[in-house]
């Protein structure tokens, strides 16, 4: 089709200007296409019969000739446009054919490698799912946090209402009236505290690490009998061959390392189970069963007394050793000594001491082996014993001096630094002081209290 215009244009020119029809054509007949065909190369060949020359004039036939010429030219232009479209479509078909061939090869490859691809895609999908797995607890936590936020919003709204009420109420009183109301509230709280009797240990939480200092073994303490404004701290590093006691005015000074005073004791101590009670230090004299009372006010030994039959110098220590045979402690009821004797088969003996003279006021024999105890402390006349000084330790045994009975308990506590060499209760702070592998720590305790009524008082 592309060569049709090339053949047709010269032929028309020849017919129009150099050729006249034969006599067999009648003069009245105008231009006519006699026949058309294609040659061997596919080109269009047309036979056109023209009128006689004397008819080639500016008459109706001439107008027909011009109209025919315009139609031929329009056909030529249409053929050229069609030719261009055909070439474009042919190129597009060629490209499509190559793409189809490529797709066929890809389909064959996919078919042959289908199992491999499926396995690979499965592994990729599995990897993506595993990567999303950690998001599940995050989303769960997000749901929980959303609920908490909702609760907090509700509490804030309630608190806002309470604060508005307080603000309105405060506007009705002057400063002196408010101060009097605060004093009355303090008195009511104080009276309520006075009604609290000694409680039973229920829970130990913490610890709070106050400071990291000294060796693995040592003791630190405050005076449970001191006034609320007196927060002095005493520090005794190591469990033997030492007699230097450091004093700090407060916990803050202790943390900062600002010493207020240093005491040089006349005798070295044994173990780490010392106690400060009502201004005096009570400790076990090294290589003996003698208890020493040292006054911080005078800087002298006030009195000393031996605990008869008490083992010493690692005869009956706690599980960690360290000459911890004699443990001195204090609680709401006074001063105590915990030790073991041969007469009690190495089991723990509890004695209440007179703080001034160190005389034994009363004694209780338990059935718990001293060597199997990690540490012990007194709360409200009950001795609580831990089963180890290492990780996993818990309060395992409790002996009541009030009823002379015992019970097995299961009160865990967090041995954060893995080695406990001192654990003592402070009745004023209602906390446990501990020395945990060179760390000075505090535990909170939860006690079960019985409130006295007016009829009981």
SS3 letters across 109-171 = HHHHCHHHHHHHHHHHHHHHHHHHCCHHHHHHHHHHHHHHHHHHHHHHHHHHHHHHHHHHHHC
CA 101 to chain centre: 57
Give me the pLDDT at residue 198, please. 79
- Edge-to-edge order in the sheet of strand 405-412: 376-379, 382-386, 394-400, 405-412
Residues paired with residue 212 on neighbouring β-strands, in sequence order: 439
Residue 295's pLDDT is 98
Q: Identify each DSSP E strand in 149-232 by its residue range.
A: 200-212, 218-221
pLDDT at 11: 43
> Which pTM value belongs to this model?
0.60
- Please report the pLDDT score of residue 169 as a whole number: 61
CA separation for the pair 78, 212 (Å, rounded): 100
The pLDDT value given to residue 28: 43
Contact 443, 432 (CB under 8 A): yes
| DSSP 8-state code for residue 285 | B
Q: Which residues, 6+ apart, have CB-to-CB distance to 281 below 8 Å?
A: 234, 245, 263, 265, 274, 275, 292, 293, 294, 296
Tokens of 150: 């909702």
Q: Decide if 387 contacts 396 (C-beta within 8 A).
A: yes
d(CA 325, CA 168): 63
- CB-based burial label for 268 (10 Å; 0-12, 13-18, 19+): middle
Residue recorded with tokens 């009097």: 180
Quick one: pLDDT at residue 189?
Answer: 65
What is the per-residue pLDDT for 180?
75
* Cβ proximity of 279 and 246 under 8 Å: no
Q: Does the CA dihedral 269-211-378-374 come out positive or negative?
A: negative
d(CA 62, CA 74): 18
Cis omega before residue 94 (within 30°)?
Answer: no
Pairing, β 405-412 against β 275-277: unpaired
146 contacts: CB under 8 Å, gap ≥ 6: none
- CA angle 453-455-457, nearest 5°? 75
Six-digit token string for 145: 């946090």
CB under 8 Å to 24, separation ≥6 — which residues?
none
What values do phi and psi take at 272, rounded to 5? -130, 15
Q: CA-CA distance, 223 to 425, in Å (whole number)?
A: 11
So what's the pLDDT on residue 183? 72
pLDDT one digit per residue (tens) for the chain, 457 residues:
444 444 444 444 444 444 434 334 444 444 444 445 555 565 555 555 545 444 444 556 667 667 666 666 666 666 666 667 667 666 766 766 666 666 667 667 666 666 676 666 667 666 666 655 555 655 555 555 566 566 656 666 666 666 666 666 655 555 577 677 767 776 676 566 555 657 899 999 999 999 999 999 999 999 999 998 899 999 999 999 999 999 999 999 999 999 999 999 999 999 999 999 999 999 999 999 999 999 999 999 999 999 999 999 999 999 999 999 999 999 999 999 999 999 999 999 999 999 999 999 999 999 999 999 999 999 999 999 999 999 999 999 999 999 999 999 999 999 999 999 999 999 999 999 999 999 999 999 999 876 555 555 4
Burial 298-325 (b: 16+ CB within 10 A, else e): eeebebbbebeebbbbebbbbbbebbbb
Q: How far apart are CA 117 and CA 112, in angstroms?
A: 10
Assess contact for 333 and 379: CB atoms under 8 A: no
Residues in the chain: 457
């Amino acid at each position: 089709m592309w060569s049709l215009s090339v053949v047709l244009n010269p032929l028309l020119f020849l017919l129009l200007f150099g050729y006249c029809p034969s006599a067999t054509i009648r003069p009245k007949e105008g231009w006519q296409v006699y026949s058309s065909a294609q040659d061997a190369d596919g080109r269009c060949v047309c036979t056109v019969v023209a009128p006689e020359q004397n008819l080639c004039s500016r008459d109706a036939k001439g107008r027909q000739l011009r109209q025919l010429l315009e139609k031929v030219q329009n056909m030529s232009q249409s053929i050229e446009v069609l030719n261009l479209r055909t070439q474009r479509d042919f190129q597009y078909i060629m490209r499509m054919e190559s793409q189809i061939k490529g797709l066929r090869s890809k389909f064959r490859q996919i078919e042959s490698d289908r199992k491999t691809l499926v396995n690979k895609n499965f592994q990729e999908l599995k990897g993506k799912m595993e990567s999303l797995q950690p998001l599940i607890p995050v989303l769960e936590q997000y749901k929980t946090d959303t609920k908490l936020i909702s609760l907090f919003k509700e509490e804030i709204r309630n608190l806002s209402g309470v604060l508005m009420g307080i603000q309105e109420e405060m506007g009705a009183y002057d400063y002196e009236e408010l101060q009097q109301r605060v004093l009355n509230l303090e008195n009511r709280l104080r009276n309520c505290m006075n009604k609290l009797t000694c409680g039973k240990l229920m829970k130990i939480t913490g610890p709070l690490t106050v400071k990291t200092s000294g060796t693995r073994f040592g003791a630190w303490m405050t005076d449970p009998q001191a006034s609320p404004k007196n927060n002095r701290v005493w520090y005794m590093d190591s469990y033997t061959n030492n007699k230097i006691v450091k004093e700090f005015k407060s916990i803050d000074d202790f943390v900062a390392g600002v010493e207020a005073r240093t005491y040089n004791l006349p005798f070295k101590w044994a173990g780490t189970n010392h106690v400060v009670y009502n201004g005096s230090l009570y400790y076990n004299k090294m290589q003996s069963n003698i208890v020493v009372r040292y006054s911080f006010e005078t800087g002298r030994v006030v009195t000393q007394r031996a605990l008869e039959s008490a083992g010493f110098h690692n005869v009956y220590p706690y599980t960690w050793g360290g000459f911890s045979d004699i443990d001195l402690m204090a609680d709401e009821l006074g001063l105590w000594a915990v030790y073991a004797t041969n007469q009690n088969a190495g089991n723990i003996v509890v004695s209440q001491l007179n703080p001034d003279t160190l005389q034994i006021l009363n004694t209780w024999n338990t059935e718990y082996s001293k060597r199997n105890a990690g540490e012990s402390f007194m709360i409200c006349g009950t001795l609580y014993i831990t089963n180890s000084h290492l990780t996993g330790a818990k309060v395992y045994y409790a002996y009541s001096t009030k009823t002379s009975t015992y019970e097995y308990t299961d009160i865990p506590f967090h041995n954060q630094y893995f080695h406990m060499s001192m654990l003592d209760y402070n009745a004023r702070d209602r906390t446990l002081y501990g020395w945990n592998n060179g760390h000075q720590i505090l535990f909170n305790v939860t006690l079960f209290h019985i409130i006295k009524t007016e009829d009981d008082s």
